[in-house]
Structure 1
Amino acid sequence: MIVLKIAFFLLLVAYLSFLQYRAFHGKKKTELIVNIGLMLTAAVIGTLLIAGVDIPSPAIPLTAIFEPIGKWVFPEVK
């Protein structure tokens, strides 16, 4: 059953990618490359989530990066 869900999801992503590719006709190649990269990332993450793989949250590294900046900009806020 999981294989069918993944197959349907990938078909949906491929169809949406095709529609977006047609919309990018005549625009810059960099926009198309960024769009393809984002769609591939979404396809991989979506497939992993459907398969039940535990994906770590990006909140921990982002907190480690931005919390010191926030304390520097707003030193009195607790």
Structure 2
Amino acid sequence: LAKVAISRKCEQLDLQLVSIAFGAHKLKTPDGVWRWHTVYQFEFSSLGDDCYQGQLTMIGFRPQSFHLPPHRL
């Protein structure tokens, strides 16, 4: 499910997906709430000659938040 969510996000933003990797299971969310969640790391390219790292946080089977750094358009 994470792979599908990341692929869709990259398609929406017209980005090329390079790779996806499992990050970690964590008990506490970044906003301080105690909740089991999974973090995935992924790499994407905006122009084909660059590479950026993004992050997806999933709670259960639902995407909770994406973090994408500023990138060239």
* TM-score above 0.5: no
Larger strand proportion, structure 1 or 2? 2
Q: TM-score, normalised by structure 1?
A: 0.24
Greater relative contact order (Cα < 8 A, sep 6+): 1
Q: TM-score, normalised by structure 2?
A: 0.25
